[in-house]
Structure 1
Amino acid sequence: MKRHASFLGLCCLLIVAALLGGCASLPAPRPVPPTYAIQDVASTRLARIAKQNALPGAAELSGFRLLPEAPFSFNARIALASRAEKSIDAQYYELRNDGVGRQLLRELRDASLRGVRVRLLVDDLYMSDADELFSSLAAYPNVEVRLFNPLPARSGSLLSRIVFSIHEFGRINHRMHNKLFIVDNSFSVSGGRNIADEYFMQDGQANFIDMDVLASGPVVREQSAAFDIYWNSEQVRPIGQVASFDLSPEQAQRRFDQWVGGAGHGLPENERDALGRTSVAHQLDDGKLDQFHAKAQVLVDDPAKIMRGRMEERFQGSVSQRTLAVLETARSHLFITSPYYVPGQVGLAQIQRQLQGGVKIIVVTNSLAATDEPLVYAGYARYRKEILKLGVVIYELSPMLSQRSGRLGEFGKTTGRLHGKTAVIDDKRVFVGSMNLDGRSASLNTEIGLVIDSPEIAADINRIISIDRYTSAYLVRIGATGGVEWVEQDSSGTTTAVHEDEPETSWFIKSKNWLLSPFVAEELL
């Protein structure tokens, strides 16, 4: 996620920034009329397909399909966008100006030209030098682009934008981490993936292993209501209020066409995904969806969460707090994947209660070699030994082993990194969403997720992750001498090698973490 590449070390820049002049400021906000999800969608083809595939006499149930493979997940968004007739509502923490990002933006443009209303809400943190691209998209009819919690500095690198916005650090340190894509108020794709090359196996250096879910039915209307809360919140500004270019609408549109003209058309995918299912596009064309039907609940943070002063107030009622409550309902098994896992004292106490109650807990997270946030790993490492002694089973993803197994994606020579945020409770309930089990998700970012009461979806997540944890991750344990060990295993769980120090990691990274981690507050991790 490259979460805040930076935010974690950026507090050091406060002194530098104080010596610099020219700190930027935002213009005063101007009121904008609220808009809401379009409800009159029954005549659209997507709404008809969703209705045809619903279970008769079970109007309270929604349909779900996991999207564990990156190409299938991205192409699902393209398939939905290309079939949109009334509306597209898209909300992302990160939407990059790269090959994947431009493909999706072009689909939004094409939909708008068909008369589809497009609302695009993007967190502003990663908008470095992207104002012109998004402003040009907003020049098309039927398109509106809004930014969440914009930074005053509008140009330059992420680092320079933060430096010249540092006088508002208390505000800009809070970000919208939500990921949501809704078409015709009938289908949605949500989960952990942002829109950028590295989330869809298209980056040349490192790619993320992630999990999304396709949904239809009443849960989509709940997600639309959640989107509306953000879209109309005081934390959001139309892009035209914070960035302006001296271009006519026609000139801006031509400029946008130049930006996206070379983008590809979807990503290459296999005939079937890892769960044996054909593409979403193929199933939409057939009008028959491979879905499981279940009750579900949308967990979403109030965007005003970021305005609350004390950490405890931001945690109260948050997605993090509510998800922990769901996890605590486990009576036999709890299987968690989280790329950034810093349980804190609240999580540690909950773990102890559950283990004493006979619950088996398995956690899959990133190794130091795999993580894109070494300082967050250091925060997790503070708790690791204690958690292991309590009886939690921990696996840490290995870049080398994930490349070798090939089960979690086509990495080639790139680094594999875990980014999926899921939990399986007693093999019958699941969480899939944007929330990490760390302090930043709990009190600094906003999040969204789904809790789905479905043994079938639980079984699918177990199929994807359970076997692969043996061949793609290290089993972490306490060794005979009391130190932490990293164990390589084959597909049967047999030990093939044991490491007594963080494997695949340079001494420089280890030394830097050792030096810096004591100075980073756990809330920032």
Structure 2
Amino acid sequence: MSAQSKHMVRLIALCLGIVLSALLTACASLPADVMRQPSHSLTDDAHGATRLTDVADASLPADDDNISGLRLLPDGGQALEARMALAHAAGRTIDAQYYQIANDASGREFLHALARAADRGVRVRLLIDDLHAGGEDDLLAGLAATPNVEVRMFNPLAVRGGAVPSRVLLSLNDFSRVNRRMHNKLFIVDNAFAISGGRNIGDAYFGRSQPANFIDMDVLAAGKVVREQSAVFDAYWNSEHAYPIQSLVSTERLPQAARAQFDAWAQGSAGTTAVQAMAERDLLGQGPVGAQLASGRIDLHLATVRVMADAPMKATHEQSLADSTVMNGNLELLQSARSDVLVTSPYFIPDTRMLDILQASTARKVRVAVLTNSLATTDEPLVHVGYSRYRDELLDMGVALYEMMPGVDAPQATAAVSHGSLGRLHAKLAVVDHRWLSIGSMNMDRRSAHSNTEMGLVIDSPELAMQVATLLQREQLPRSYQLRMQPGAARPKLQWVAPSTTQPLVFSAEPSRNWRRQLGVSFTSMFVSEQLL
């Protein structure tokens, strides 16, 4: 048999195996009549103060219960250290809600911190979207075996093991449901401090990865906004879409053995800790959160904040595709602009309503700029194809487009310790009229609008808006291509202009394009709806 024939036989066998597996799992289903013990956030009014509630009180004005205090976390190392410092200081509760917790050093350090808090008597509730949790059931069940810890999986797949593609493939019989994911990122301690924004839990989000790290942004909050975020967490936690990990796992291990396995896994990480990986000062000149916690007060910007959150029911296929509280809130913010708009989104695929709002804004002489990933820096090439279909139209209506350039070290805003790695944009931000700042988990794309649940904050703070705008203009835009139509060309033709210390470099073909790979991605995109990107 020739090599080509052998390859064909292997391919056919693989296809048959996939089909057989799909048939065998087609009847797999989630457990029915799942017992979910309702629980809610605990307040110091009913349960007494803790060290963190005292620090929060000392960091906020005593005469205004409606104000919130906020601090940006642009540095990856400090963003992880802040979570660890809060977890170590927790006195009553930890509520954590994430789309992904990676099985790496950062993920292990984070989960181990939750277990240590529980050992001190802190109530821990951990809610994880199930898509990226394949193969981690035993470990999460081990964490859940710890007294004071509950772990729930949001919108779980019936197929428990394997990588994401295989789990999705084997769930095609239930695709309309499993396609809808919980994309929220939220960490609340003692109902006193919360961290939200764009970061999942994993090395790439905290500047500790190779070959690429994510450029991202979180915000630390205290005051009224935290109480509202706790209410959002409670709604998700008590939702019918949140399944206790024990209802999904069949294990004969005793709780003590399950916890011992978890401890061995969590403590088995090598490398630097969060404290070792962070800079003394971030790009805003701020020191670590842990040191300020120890001093009894955290420097916060006072502002009014609006919490935006999609309902957990967005995860059911019966919901309307237009039911997106967070997307609607962000579009309303953009629509309100009077002078300028600066948007950063790693994945940017505008729909008709967004295009209409941007067109109306530029017609009113509002300056609109969008920063997203280039072909070289994106981790989702299919999404980039979807975005590329709108570049000409966006430029024609007067939107300034910027794409992150490859080949530069992740700046301090991403990683305190330079790894010489590729920086990928992951921050989801909008600055409007030098006053309003939107920050959260939502990308400006169809998936965030229609398929994922999202969460975000709209902050009325010229100080924080200026901090973000300055960071982007100082750190990211000089590291980005600016797109334009070729001047004087008979036919419209895109150009990418790269900043230079001498003369800007102009590319008439998309930089870093690999035609062979791009052909395959473009071909695949013909069969994938933009609603899925």
1:514 alignment counterpart: 522
| Aligned twin of 2:435 | 428
2:103 counterpart of 1:97: yes
SS at the partner of 2:430? strand
Q: Deviations over 1:421-450 (max 9, x none)?
A: 000010101000000000000010000001
Q: Which has the larger radius of gyration?
A: 2
Does the Cα contact within 8 Å between 2:410 and 2:418 map onto a contact in 1? no
Equivalent position to 2:460, from 437, 441, 453: 453
Q: Residue 8 of structure 1 corresponds to which residue in structure 2?
A: none
CA shift for structure 1 position 162? 1.7
Give the aligned residue type for 1:269.
Answer: M
Query: In 2, are the aligned partners of 1:488 and 1:495 still within 8 Å (CA)?
Result: no
The counterpart of 1:159, out of the listed 165, 168, 191, is 165
One-letter amino acid of the counterpart of residue 502, structure 1? E
Partner of 2:362: 355
Report deviation, 1:517.
2.0
TM-aligned CA deviation for residue 164 of structure 1: 1.9
Matched residue of 1:25: which SS?
Answer: coil
Q: What amino acid maps onto 2:518 in structure 1?
A: K
Distance 1:345 1:170, change over 3 A: same
Is residue 424–residue 431 contact of structure 1 (8 Å, CA) maintained in 2?
yes
Distance 2:312 2:508 in 1: 44
* Aligned residue in 1 for 2:299: 290
2:390 to 361, 383, 388: 383
Partners of 2:165 and 2:321 lie apart in 1 by 26
CA contact (8 A) 1:405 1:471 kept: no
Q: Counterparts of 1:485-524 in structure 2 under 5 Å?
A: 485-490=495-500, 495-524=503-532
Structure 2 distance, partners of 1:338, 1:29, is 40
Q: How far apart are residue 96 of structure 1 and its match?
A: 1.2
CA distance in 2, matches of 1:17, 1:338: 37
- 1:304-352 CA distances to partner (integer Å, 9 max, x unpaired)? 0122536xx2323521112111121110010000000001111111111
Q: Distance in 2 between matches of 1:56 and 1:136?
A: 42
Counterpart position of 1:210: 216
Paired residue for 2:226, among 203, 220, 242? 220
Q: Which amino acid aligns with 1:28?
A: A
Structure 1: 5+ residue runs without aligned partners?
1-12
Q: Distance in 1 between matches of 2:384 and 2:102?
A: 25
Unaligned runs of 5+ in 2: 1-14
- How far 1:484 sits from its partner (Å)? 0.9
Q: CA deviation at 1:469?
A: 3.0
Residue 230 of structure 1 corresponds to which residue in structure 2?
236
Q: Aligned equivalents of 2:385 and 2:239: distance in 1?
A: 35
Structure 1 letter corresponding to 2:499: Q
CA distance in 2, matches of 1:428, 1:452: 8
Q: Confirm or deny: 8 A CA contact 1:422 1:430 kept in the other structure.
A: yes
Q: Secondary structure at the match of 1:423?
A: strand
> Within 5 Å, which residues of 2 pair with 1:121-132?
121-132=127-138
Q: Quick check: 153-162 or 116-125, which moved more?
A: 153-162
| AA partner of residue 199 (structure 2) | R
With 503-512 and 345-354 compared, the bigger mean Cα shift is at: 503-512
Q: Mean Cα displacement is larger for which, 402-411 or 288-297?
A: 402-411
Deviation at 1:495, TM superposition (A): 4.5
What letter corresponds to residue 38 of structure 2 in structure 1?
P
CA distance in 2, matches of 1:404, 1:299: 30
- RMSD of Structure 2 on Structure 1 (CA): 1.9
- Indicate if the aligned counterparts of 1:470 and 1:489 stay in contact, CA closer than 8 A: no
Structure 2 vs 1, CA of residues 135 and 352 (structure 1 numbering), >3 Å: closer, same or farther? same
2:91 matches 1:85:
yes
- How far did 1:479 drift? 1.0
Please tell me whether the aligned partners of residues 72 and 279 of structure 1 are also in contact (alpha carbons under 8 angstroms). yes
| TM-score, normalising length: structure 2 | 0.92
The correspondence for 1:468, drawn from 458, 472, 475, is 475
Residue 367 (structure 1) aligns with: 374
CA contact (8 A) 1:14 1:166 kept: no
> What letter matches 2:86 in structure 1?
L
Q: 1:407 to 1:472 in 2, by over 3 A?
A: farther
Q: Which of 324, 339, 364 pairs up with 2:346?
A: 339
Written as runs of structure 1 = structure 2, the 5 A alignment for 1:11-26 is 17=19, 20-23=22-25, 24-26=28-30
Measured at CA, do residues 14 and 287 of structure 1 come closer, stay the same or move farther in structure 2, by a change above 3 Å?
Answer: farther
Counterpart residue number, 2:12: none
* CA-CA distance at 1:391 after TM superposition: 0.6
CA distance in 2, matches of 1:415, 1:456: 30
Q: Which amino acid aligns with 2:91?
A: E
Matched AA of 2:82: A
Task: State whether structure 2 residue 39 is matched by structure 1 residue 35.
Answer: yes
2-structure distance, mates of 1:242, 1:483: 54
Task: Output the CA distance in 2 between the equivalents of 1:14 and 1:387.
Answer: 45
Amino acid paired to 1:136: G
Q: Name 1:9's counterpart in structure 2.
A: none
The alignment-based identity, stated in percent, is: 44
8 Å CA contact 2:215–2:413 kept in 1: the answer is: no
Of 132, 139, 158, which aligns to 1:133?
A: 139
**Equivalent position SS for 2:281:** coil
Residue of structure 2 in register with 1:484 after alignment: 494
**Structure 1's 271 and 329: CA in aligned 2 closer, same or farther, altered over 3 A?**
same
Hey, what does 2:7 align to over in structure 1?
none
| Aligned residue in 1 for 2:287 | 278
Residue 395 of structure 1 aligns to a residue whose secondary structure is strand
TM-score (norm 1): 0.93
1:316–1:165 CA distance, 2 compared to 1 (3 A):
closer
* Shift of residue 149, structure 1, vs aligned partner: 0.4
Whole-Å separation in 1 of the counterparts to 2:426 and 2:378: 9
The Cα shift of 1:404 comes to 8.1
**How is 1:40-59 mapped onto 2 (pairs within 5 angstroms)?**
40=44, 42-59=48-65
Q: Give yes or no for the alignment of 1:63 onto 2:69.
A: yes
Deviates more, 1:479-488 or 1:362-371: 479-488
Which residue matches 2:205? 199
User: Whole-Å Cα distance in 2 between the matches of residues 253 and 320 of structure 1?
Assistant: 40
State the match for 2:316 in structure 1: 307
1:111 to 117, 137, 148: 117
Q: How many residues were matched structurally? A: 508
Residues 396 and 42 of structure 1: CA distance in aligned 2, closer, same or farther (over 3 Å):
farther
CA distance in structure 1 between the aligned counterparts of 2:39 and 2:413, rounded to whole angstroms: 43
User: Which amino acid is 1:58 matched to?
Assistant: D
After superposition, the Cα gap between the structure-2 partners of 1:218 and 1:15, relative to the gap in structure 1 and judged at 3 Å, is: farther
